[in-house]
Chain A
Amino acid sequence: MPDDSAIASLVQSCQAGTLDDFDPIYREFVKPIYGFIYRRTLHRETAEDLTSVTFMKALENIHSYKSSKGAFGAWLYRIARNTITDSYRTSHPTADIENVWDLASDDQTETLTEHGMAFDQIQEALQKLSPEKRDIILMRLWDGLSYKEIAAITGKTESNCKVIFCRTLERLRAETSLATLLLILLTPFKL
């Protein structure tokens, strides 16, 4: 697996015109980017389409990436995030474009049972959060991104992201009694 410096070198090569070097970049990021999109759309075909668009955009605009503004991975995640938002705007023109989470709840409910999990409780808890807070929670817990990466993607400072994450979890905790939390934890997966 290429490290950050290897990725940077490949990106430089692409920017110099050797676009064949986009291939190892793609291989490095295709799974995490797909996962990032899937976790926000909960729909395989949509995730595939948006992943395709994300990488096409990245390939076409790689000359505009500037390493001084953050890691290439963060740039790629930002494209993915914008692509999801654009897609949501197209498919739900009258809805709150920030509230991408609804993309899953509208017409992809079958995918929830596909996972066989007690998704409703978590979804309900997360839905009460503002899109910004929810996004930071998801990026840290589900996407496994570091605060540095989250900061680069969201345009906030690292410490700001940490505080938002901390306060949001505290809010979730405070709004849910211990008994309910234990119940949630012990709820068996739906099969």
Chain B
Amino acid sequence: MKTSLESILAELYQTDPTLRDHEKELIPLIKRLLKDQPDAEPTEQFIAELRAQLQSQARSLQSTTLPAGHSSTERRLDPILSFFSLMKYSYAALGLVLGVLLTTPAVYYTLKNPSSPLKVLPTDDSLFSYSITKRPDNDFGDLAGGRSAGAETTSFSRNQSGGGGGGLGGGPTMDAKIAAGGNATSDMMIYPPQDFVQYEYVFNGDIPALTNDKVSVLKRQKNITRIPITAINGSFDLGSIDLNSFNNARVDSLTFTQDESYGYMISVMLSEGAIGINQNWAKWPHPEADCKDDACWRAMQVKITDIPADDVLLDIAHAFMKDHHIDLSAYGTPEVDHQWKVEYERATDKSMAYIPDTQRVIYPLLIEGQPVYDEGGTKAGIQVGVNVRERKVADVWGIMNNNFLRSDYAGVTDSEVVMKYLREFEQTPKEYLPQDTKVRTVKLQLGAPVVAYSRMYMYENNANDELYVPSLVFPVTNVPAGEYYYRSSIVVPLATDLLGRFQNIGRPMPLAEPGVVDPAATTDTPEATGVTAPGAVVPKENVPAGE
């Protein structure tokens, strides 16, 4: 609450009316005192960290019975004070303490006892928990895209495809083929060509000092299939098959269904270390499903006035999380996702604009106090869908086992490397486009970056691993009117290998230098088809001498 000059003067005169005689001197004095107020807001990171600590401490207090004659303060305050004095020096300490403190009592069941099929495991056996385990440097193999430690090829998937753009901008592979063919024109295309949109990211600020020549990359240990099949066989008789005959089989997933009004289906995906909760569709009302015509359907659509205030959505989400003891200790202050409003605001006919009947609340994941962003620039975490009509939680996704391995990799220390990355981000060279393509450049301003983790996916050994990489996250601060652009941030990984790797993803297939077409690779000539078969472009050094 800010204090006004007028209110202060009024109070003074009420207390001592003679002070009115000195008003000319009092006013500059009070103004100066008010003006010089040193004001500083706590950082969101600090707020989230302390919140997580308080939640954890609250659970600890609730679950612990103290011996008589010992106050809770005596027993706990000293370690807490020590912890917080450590905290400012080492966020690693935070991670470790969180790891010790957090347990997830939500959905840990074992089926070992035939007479009691569902039994909550002791907390130290929790499948879903938070921990970080240090490993040697470069332990996850070559992140740059070469051979991984497991001697399998590594590839990354990337979902930074937030930009819309013209019809020709969709597929980099197509661009590469066209480029290799050399003479493709847009006449060959079924749809008339639209302008190709190149997004140019403009950042005028300063890159924060990059002082760490090593950065800690985390890998989530998501597979927690530790429940052997023998634990459930015997709980019920399948009759026609003996599960025990499948040696070493483990429980990969579990699904629980609430067969009642407004019931849920709970999916525990042990191999992914994830839990999802969804409405049991048959047990929820869906009046729109009975509509026979468009008028009915439209009448059933959620209107902007139906959308509850953020506080209401947050309260609904929080009540659900509380009722089901979903551990939020590793998550920050929840936020309502307003991304859909971007499109709504753009719509000229609001009656036709899409308004989702499920609003999303995000509990952002925090690793060592830092937020985590997906590669598309949105915050990662637990997503809670609130059904607007029913004012109930309809689904929850992203409850995860947060056990991580940590390994150090070479870090980016040159700010110019980051600037170059931004300049080249998603730029498609003109030579990859059809000859008569009109390129339209849209400039997008980037705001000051925050240091955070970004979640990236690495395909290795036929499994999709999750990496969490220290990154600079630049918010997109403006989108020109009329442009379709969905990404909220640009993520720049600060691990050297990953930065180099990603610089080439989202672009056409590698064409680092002029290539020639390998006649052996295709029977169709580029001239005939306009495209070249995959693998037909070979670098010059691979061409036999004399050709």
Contact = CB atoms under 8 A, between A and B. Distances in A.
Interface in B298-341: 318, 322, 333
A122 B54 contact: no
A89 B296 CA distance: 71
Chain A interface SS verdict (over half): helix
Given A122-B36, A170-B22, A184 B28 contact: yes
Contacts of A166: 11-12, 15-16, 19
B297 interface: no
A121 B36 CA distance: 10
24 contacts: A19-B59, A20-B58, A22-B54, A30-B47, A34-B41, A35-B40, A38-B40, A45-B88, A48-B88, A49-B85, A59-B57, A59-B58, A60-B72, A117-B35, A117-B36, A119-B36, A121-B32, A140-B3, A142-B37, A162-B15, A166-B15, A178-B24, A184-B32, A185-B28
A178 B61 contact: no
Contact of B80 (A31, A56, A170, A185): A56
B51 A23 contact: yes
Interface of B: 1-3, 8, 11-12, 15-16, 19, 22, 24-26, 28-42, 46-47, 50-51, 53-55, 57-59, 61-62, 72-73, 76-77, 80-81, 84-85, 87-88, 318, 322, 333
A57 B76 CA distance: 10
The 9 closest A-B pairs by CB, nearest first: A19-B58, A144-B1, A185-B28, A166-B15, A34-B42, A181-B28, A52-B84, A122-B36, A142-B37
Interface in A23-46: 23, 26-27, 30-31, 34-35, 38-39, 42, 44-45
Interface of A: 17, 19-20, 22-23, 26-27, 30-31, 34-35, 38-39, 42, 44-45, 47-49, 51-53, 55-57, 59-61, 111, 115, 117-119, 121-122, 137, 140-142, 144-145, 147, 162-163, 165-167, 169-170, 172-173, 176, 178, 181-182, 184-185
Nearest to A56: B80
A35 B46 CA distance: 13
Contacts of A56: 53-54, 57, 77, 80, 84
B27 to A, nearest CB: 9
Given A51-B46, A56-B84, A181-B28, 9 more contacts: A49-B87, A56-B53, A56-B54, A56-B80, A59-B58, A119-B38, A141-B34, A144-B3, A170-B22
B29 A19 contact: no
A53 to B, nearest CB: 6
Please classify the interface of chain B as helix (H, G, I), strand (E, B), loop, or mixed, using the class held by over half of its residues. helix
B29 A44 contact: no
Contacts of A61: 72-73
A134 to B, nearest CB: 11
Contacts of A44: 40
B29 A169 contact: yes
Nearest to B34: A141
Given A122-B32, A141-B8, A17 B62 contact: yes
Contact of A26 (B54, B76, B77): B54
A111 B2 CA distance: 22
Contacts of A55: 50, 54
A136 B318 CA distance: 38
Nearest to B89: A45
Contacts of A47: 40, 42
B40 A140 contact: no
A17 B12 CA distance: 44
A165 B243 CA distance: 81
A169 B84 contact: no
A173 B58 contact: no
Given A35-B39, A122-B36, A60 B84 contact: no
B53 A52 contact: yes
A49 B84 contact: yes
Contacts of A115: 38
A5 B450 CA distance: 38
Nearest to A46: B88
Contact of B33 (A17, A35, A141, A145): A141
B54 A38 contact: no
A173 B85 contact: no
A21 to B, nearest CB: 9
Contacts of A35: 39-41
B46 A48 contact: yes
A185 B88 contact: no
Given A49-B84, A56-B80, A137 B38 contact: no
B51 to A, nearest CB: 6
Contacts of B322: 20
Contacts of B39: 35, 38-39
B475 to A, nearest CB: 22
A60 B77 contact: yes
Contacts of B87: 48-49, 52
Nearest to A45: B88
B106 to A, nearest CB: 14
B59 to A, nearest CB: 8
Given A48-B46, A166-B15, A173 B1 contact: no
Contact of A20 (B32, B50, B55): B55
Contacts of A45: 88
Contacts of B25: 173, 176, 178, 181
